[in-house]
Amino acid sequence: MSSVRAPSRLGGLVLAAIFAFLYVPIAVLVLLSFNASGLPTAWTGFSLKWYGALAGNANILHAAWNTLVVGLAATAISTVLGTLLAIGLETRRRKGTAIEALAFAPMVIPDIVLAVALLTFFSSLDITLGLPTIVVSHVIFDLAFVNAVVRARLKHFDFSIVEASRDLGAGYVTTFRRILLPALAPAIIAGALLAFTLSIDEFIIAFFTAGAGRSSITLPMQIYSMIRFGITPEVNALATLVMGLSATVLMISQWLNKEQAP
Amino acid sequence: MSPPDMKSGLLVTPAVAWLVIFMLAPCLLVLSYAFLERGTWGGVEYTLTLENIARAFDPLYARVFLTSARIAALATLFAVLLAYPAAYAIARAPRRWQPVLLFFAVLPFWSNYLIRTYAWIVLLNREGLVNNLLKALGYRGEPLSMLYSEPAVILGLVYNYLPFVILAIYSALSRLNPELIEASHDLGGGALRTFWRVTLPLSLPGVAAGGVFVFVLSIGNFVTPALLGGGRFQMIGNLVYDQFLAANDWPFGAALGMVLIAIMTALLLVQARLAARAGGDTARPA
Amino acid sequence: MNARERAAAAAPPTHPAVLRIETVSKAFGAVTAVDRVSLDIRPNEFFALLGPSGCGKTTLLRMLAGFETPTGGRILLDGQDISPLPPERRPLNLMFQSYALFPHMSVRANLAYGLEMERRPRAEITRRVDELLATTGLSALADRRPDQLSGGQKQRVALARALIKRPKVLLLDEPLGALDKKLREQMQLELKRLQHEVGITFVMVTHDQEEALVMADRMAILRDGRLLQCGTPQEVYETPVDRFVADFIGVMNFIEGAVDPGGVFRAPGLDVPLARPAGTGALAVRPEAVEVLAGPAAGMPGTVLDVAYHGLDRVLHVRTEAAPLLRVRVAARHAAEWRAGDAVSLRIEPAHCLFFPDPAP
C-alpha cells in the first residue's frame, strides 16, 4: 500500500537523527579508546596501548573472571528454569494469572528494590555474600527473560508435533528430549544469550549481593568505581570491549531467533 | 489447536519456587521491615511501628519524591516525543528493512547501562567533547558545566530508555491493520487527519506501555542520578541506597522502597486497563 | 459401488469389528462434545466421520488416538479395551490435520522415528523406511526438511509416517483439508488406492460431504455430538434418516406442505401421492429427481431464475409457488436453451421423494 510503505525522505531523516543520538556517544567512546593520548582534546594517533594496560591490570582481570563465572552459572540455571517455565505456562489448560505475574515481575521491579530485598533476605538468614549469592540473584531476572523469549516462540508453535511423537510411540521424556527441545533450540539459545548479556552487564543487584571486599567484585562494579574516580583511557578501552562482547552475543541471539520464526 | 497436556504443573514448579523464595519472600521481608524499628548497628528491632511510613511523607523526603516524579515525568515525555517519530519511520520503512532497523534501535538497550551513561560523562564534562567542539567553533567563554544537573540526568534517562519506547510504539503501529488507514483515506481523510484520527489513537496502547516503563524505571533509578547528577540531588533510588549502605536505617529504606513499589504497581495496573480497553478490533487479519 | 463396498454393506451384523466404539461420551465441563456414540468399524474398510464443525468428530477421533479420555463408554480394539492406554501404547496411528512433521528432522528421520520408538534394529528401520519412501514416491525427497516441501509433499510424508508402524487402524484428521481443490481430488484417489495396497483400516474425519461420499466405504454423520446415521454413501444419500442429513449430504430441495388424510402431499401447485399418515412437513427431492416437462404441460408451473452451467449438466434455479428456489438438474445434451425468465413446468417423481414430518410441537 503506497500511503504507508512509501519510502519517505522525512522518515529517513528522522531515523538518521535518532540513530545518531543512540550511537554517536558510544562511537566517541570507542574512538577515544584507540587514541594514543587517551584524551578527548586531541587525536594523537591510533594505539592499542590502553588495551595493553587493561591486560596488565590484575583487578580488572579478576573482575572479568568473576563476571564470566557469574554469567555462565546464572545463564545455565536460568535457561533450564526459564525454558521449563515457558513450556509449562504455555501448555497449562487453566490460566495461571498469578504465575504469569510472578514471571513478569522481575522485568519491571526497580533494580534497587530487588537489590535491597535480596541483601535483607541473605543477611537475615546469615548467608555469606559472594559470587553464589550474585548468581542466585541474577537467575531471578535472567529466567524471566528466557521465559519471555521462549514463550514468544511457543506462541506460534505447532504443538501437534508433540502429539505426533506420542502417537508414534514416544513417551513423555523421549518426546521432550527428541522433539520439543530440538524444535525450540533456536529460541532457547537466543534466550540464554540474552540472559548472559544481561547478567554480565548487571550492576546494582550484583553490587548489593556481592558482599564487602574485592574478592567477588564483577566487571560492572569495577567499571562503576573507575567511573566515579574519573574518566580514564582504560575505562574507554574496557567499555569498548564490554560493549563489543554484548553486541556480538546479541546479534547471534537475534539471528538464531529469526532463523526459525514463522 | 490447544496445546497438549505436558505435566505443566511440574514444569513451572522449579522456576516458581525460585521466584517465590528469592524474589517474593525477600520483597515481602523487606516490606515488613518498613513496620519495624531500626537496630542500633543496622538491622531491625522487632517492634511494630508506623513511624517509617510516616517519615517517608515528611516534607523533606516528599520533596525527593516530587523531584523524582518530575524527572521521571520529563524523561518519559521526551522519550515518547523522540520515540514516536522513530517508531513511525521504522513502521513505514520497506518491510524487509524493518527488523534490521528495529534491531539496531533496540540493541543499545540490552548492552551495559553503566557504559552508556558513562558515554555522556565523556561528552558533557568540562573538558569533554561538547565543550571542545564549542571551543573549536569559536566559543570563548567559560566551559559549560552541563554535567551534574537535572537536565543531564533527564538526558541520561531518555538516552537509556528510548530504545524500549521505540520498540513498544513500533509493535503497536505494526499491529495496526493497514486497511484501517486505507479506509480512512478512502473515506476522504487526508494524511494528517488520518494520522490524528486513526493512527495515533490506535497506537496509544504502545505509547502507554513504553511510557509507563520509562517512568517506572526512571523514578526508581539509582545509577543515572549518581553518575550524571553527581550526587548533588537525590532521587528515591539514591535515598534507598543511602538508607541501606550509608545510614544503616533499613526500616526507613524499606518504607521508601514500599512507596516505590506502590507507584509501580498502580501505573502497571493503569496501563493494563488501557491495553485491555484498546484491545479491540485493530489488529491485522491473521 | 464397488465389490468391496457392496460386501461391506451387505455384511451380516455379527461381522467382527476391528474397532468398536461403545456408547462413548466426552464432556468438557458443562459442554458435551460427544454424546453416547456407538459405532463398529470393520476390518479394512475406509470409514468417514462426517459432520459440520463442532459436531464432535475430531474429539471422537482424538479419543481413538488417546489424546482425550472418554468421560463415558469404552473403545475396543480387536475386543480389547484400549481406553486406559496412553497414545504411545495404542497400535493406532494418527495423521494430523496440520501434518505435524518434526521441523528439525529430514523426511527420512521423520519416517524412522516411529520405528526407533519400537527399538527396531537399524537395518530393519533403513529397509522399511526405504520401502515406504518408494511406495509413496518420496525417495527423491528423503533428505529434505519439512520446510523445503510443498503442501502436497508434506501431506504424503505425514501419511507415510503414520503408516510406517503398520497400525491396525489409521486415523486421519481432515487429511486433505489444507490442499487446494485440484490436488485434493487427485489425492482422494491416491489415498484410496494406497488404502487398498496396504490393507489397513482407515478412519477419516472430514467436514466435506462430497469427499466422504467419494472416498468412504461407510460413513457416520454426527451433529452436536450425537450420531445421526451410519451407512454406505448410497444408503445415506438415498435414505437419509432426517431432514438435517438430507440437507447435509448432497443437494436437496425442500418443499414445505402437508400430507392430507388421503396420503397425498399438497403444496401450492403441487400434488404428490405418498402413502403416509397425515401431517405437515417437508417434501425432500434431489435436483435429479425433478423433470422439466416439454411445453406447458400439466406439471407444477415455475419461472427460471438462473441457469448454472456444470459441464455435462445444468442446474436450473426455478421459482415456484410452493418453493421460492427449486434446483433442477438437466442433462446439457438434451436440454433446450433455457433462459432466465422462461416459464417451465415441472414434474416430481413420487418414488424419488422423501417426506420429513415437522417435529411435534
User: How far is B146 from B166, CA to CA, in rounded Å?
Assistant: 26
Q: State the pLDDT confidence band at B279, using cuts at 50, 70 and 90.
A: low
CATH number at C302 reads 2.40.50.140
Three cell numbers at A222? 569495577
- The Cα of C40 is separated from the nearest Cα of chain A by a number of Å equal to 22
Determine contact, residues C213/C249, Cβ cutoff 8 Å.
yes
Q: Is B166 on the interface with A (CB under 8 A)?
A: yes
- Among residues C217, C246, C275, the one where a domain terminates is C246
Instruction: State the Cα angle at C289 between C286 and C295, rounded to 5°.
Output: 130
Q: How far, in Å, are A9, A119, B45, B257 from residue B241 at the CA level? A: 47, 11, 20, 10
Whether A174 and C117 lie within 8 Å, measured CB to CB: yes
Q: Are residues C242 and C263 in the same domain?
A: no
- The Cα of C93 is separated from the nearest Cα of chain A by a number of Å equal to 6
Interface test with A, best of C58, C62, C69, C94 (most A CBs within 10 A): C94
Share of chain A above pLDDT 70, in %: 95
Print the domain residue range for C85: 3-246
Determine contact, residues B123/A25, Cβ cutoff 8 Å.
yes
User: How far is B14 from C221, CA to CA, in rounded Å?
Assistant: 47
Q: Is residue A22 part of a domain?
A: no
Q: Which chain A residue's Cα is nearest to B161?
A: A22
Across the interface, of B16, B120, B240, the residue whose CB is closest to A99 is B16
User: How far is C175 from C177, CA to CA, in rounded Å?
Assistant: 6
Q: Is A182 on the interface with C (CB under 8 A)?
A: yes
Q: Is residue A64 part of a domain?
A: yes
Q: Is residue A18 part of a domain?
A: no
Across the interface, of C65, C66, C88, the residue whose CB is closest to A170 is C88
Q: Are residues C259 and C335 in the same domain?
A: yes
| Chain A residues inside the 8 Å CB shell of B122 | 25, 28-29, 32, 40, 231, 236
Q: List, as ranges, residues 117-146 from C with C-beta within 8 Å of A.
A: 117-118
| Chain C residues inside the 8 Å CB shell of A183 | 102-104
Q: Are residues C229 and C329 in the same domain?
A: no
User: How far is C131 from C152, CA to CA, in rounded Å?
Assistant: 20
* Residue-by-residue DSSP string for C142-199: TT--GGGS-HHHHHHHHHHHHHTT--SEEEEESTTTTS-HHHHHHHHHHHHHHHHHHT
Q: State the pLDDT confidence band at A177, using cuts at 50, 70 and 90.
A: very high
Determine contact, residues A167/C65, Cβ cutoff 8 Å.
yes
Query: Residue-wise over B120-129: b if at least 16 C-beta within 10 A, else e?
Result: bbbbbbeebb
Contacts of C168 (CB under 8 A, 6+ apart): C18, C19, C77, C78, C91, C92, C200, C201
Q: Are residues C103 and C229 in the same domain?
A: yes
Q: Put residue C193 in one of left, alpha, beta given phi > 0 → left and psi -120 to 50 → alpha.
A: alpha
| Chain C residues inside the 8 Å CB shell of A170 | 88, 113, 117
| Chain B residues inside the 8 Å CB shell of A112 | 220-222, 237, 240-241, 257, 260
Q: Are residues C187 and C302 in the same domain?
A: no
pLDDT digits (tens, 9 = 90+) for C140-181: 999 999 999 998 899 999 999 999 999 999 999 999 887 888
Domain total in chain C:
2
pLDDT digits (tens, 9 = 90+) for B229-246: 876 668 888 888 888 888
A39-53, B236-250, C188-202, C211-225: least confidently modelled range: A39-53
A165-179, B46-60, B162-176, C1-15: least confidently modelled range: C1-15
HSE-up of residue B263 (Cα within 13 Å, Cβ side): 24
Does residue B26 surpass a pLDDT of 60? yes
Chains A, B: CB contacts within 8 A come to 279
- The Cα of A166 is separated from the nearest Cα of chain C by a number of Å equal to 5
A63-67, A231-235, B78-82, C289-293: least confidently modelled range: A231-235
- Considering only CA atoms, which of C206, C152, C148, C145 is closest in space to residue C183? C152
Across the interface, of C66, C98, C117, the residue whose CB is closest to A168 is C117
Bigger pLDDT: C116 or B270?
C116
Q: State the pLDDT confidence band at B147, using cuts at 50, 70 and 90.
A: confident
Q: How many Cβ atoms are within 10 Å of C162's Cβ, its own excluded?
A: 26
Q: Is C67 on the interface with A (CB under 8 A)?
A: yes
- Among residues C199, C223, C246, the one where a domain terminates is C246
| Chain A residues inside the 8 Å CB shell of C94 | 163-164, 167
Alpha helices in chain C (DSSP H): 3-10, 57-65, 107-117, 122-135, 151-163, 181-198, 209-215, 233-238, 243-248
Q: Are residues C60 and C135 in the same domain?
A: yes
Q: Are residues C303 and C234 in the same domain?
A: no
Q: How many Cβ atoms are within 10 Å of C356's Cβ, its own excluded?
A: 18
Whether B254 and A116 lie within 8 Å, measured CB to CB: yes
Three cell numbers at A239? 567499555
Contacts of A239 (CB under 8 A, 6+ apart): A29, A33, A223, B112, B115, B118, B119
Whether B111 and A247 lie within 8 Å, measured CB to CB: yes
Give the ipTM of the model, two decimals please. Answer: 0.90
Q: Put residue C72 in one of left, alpha, beta given phi > 0 → left and psi -120 to 50 → alpha.
A: beta
Q: Is residue A189 part of a domain?
A: yes
Whether A168 and C101 lie within 8 Å, measured CB to CB: no
Q: Which whole number is the average pLDDT over A35-50? A: 80
Q: Are residues C138 and C24 in the same domain?
A: yes
Q: Are residues C231 and C261 in the same domain?
A: no
Q: Is B246 on the interface with A (CB under 8 A)?
A: no
SS3 C243: helix
Q: Is A156 on the interface with C (CB under 8 A)?
A: no
Q: Is B264 on the interface with A (CB under 8 A)?
A: yes
Interface test with B, best of A2, A120, A180, A229 (most B CBs within 10 A): A120
User: How far is C153 from B88, CA to CA, in rounded Å?
Assistant: 41
pLDDT for B2: 54
Q: Name residue A208's beta-bridge partners.
A: none
Domain total in chain A:
1
Determine contact, residues B60/B74, Cβ cutoff 8 Å.
no
pLDDT for C294: 67
| Chain C residues inside the 8 Å CB shell of A261 | none
What CATH number labels B58-283?
A: 1.10.3720.10
Q: Is C104 on the interface with A (CB under 8 A)?
A: yes
Helices A111-124/A131-155 angle, 10° precision: 130
Boundaries of every domain in chain B: 58-283
- Please report, in angstroms and rounded to a whole number, the separation of the first and last CA atoms in chain A: 23
Q: Which whole number is the average pLDDT over B249-274? A: 87
pLDDT digits (tens, 9 = 90+) for C328-351: 988 876 666 778 888 888 888 888
pLDDT for C24: 95
- The Cα of C19 is separated from the nearest Cα of chain A by a number of Å equal to 17
- The Cα of B197 is separated from the nearest Cα of chain A by a number of Å equal to 15
| Chain B residues inside the 8 Å CB shell of A8 | 89, 92
HSE-up of residue B233 (Cα within 13 Å, Cβ side): 17
CATH number at A216 reads 1.10.3720.10
Q: Is C113 on the interface with A (CB under 8 A)?
A: yes
Q: Is residue A20 part of a domain?
A: no
Bigger pLDDT: C48 or B222?
C48
Determine contact, residues C191/C170, Cβ cutoff 8 Å.
no
Q: Are residues C192 and C259 in the same domain?
A: no
User: How far is C19 from C43, CA to CA, in rounded Å?
Assistant: 8
Q: Is A173 on the interface with C (CB under 8 A)?
A: no
- The Cα of A240 is separated from the nearest Cα of chain B by a number of Å equal to 9
Q: How far is CA B4 from its chain centroid? A: 37
Q: Is B81 on the interface with A (CB under 8 A)?
A: no
Q: State the pLDDT confidence band at C270, using cuts at 50, 70 and 90.
A: confident
- Considering only CA atoms, which of C214, C153, C218 is closest in space to residue C188? C214
Three cell numbers at B146? 552541563
Three cell numbers at A93? 489448560
Print the domain residue range for A86: 54-260
CATH number at C102 reads 3.40.50.300
Q: Given strand C313-320, what is the order of strands in its sheet?
A: C290-293, C343-348, C300-310, C313-320, C326-331
Three cell numbers at B116? 552508556
Q: Is A174 on the interface with C (CB under 8 A)?
A: yes
Q: Which chain B residue's Cα is nearest to A240?
A: B115
Q: Are residues C12 and C54 in the same domain?
A: yes
pLDDT digits (tens, 9 = 90+) for A155-169: 888 899 999 999 999
pLDDT digits (tens, 9 = 90+) for A99-147: 988 998 998 888 899 999 999 999 989 999 999 999 999 999 999 999 9
- Among residues C227, C246, C265, the one where a domain terminates is C246
Whether A168 and C98 lie within 8 Å, measured CB to CB: no
Q: Are residues C158 and C273 in the same domain?
A: no
Does residue C182 surpass a pLDDT of 50? yes
Determine contact, residues C95/C162, Cβ cutoff 8 Å.
yes
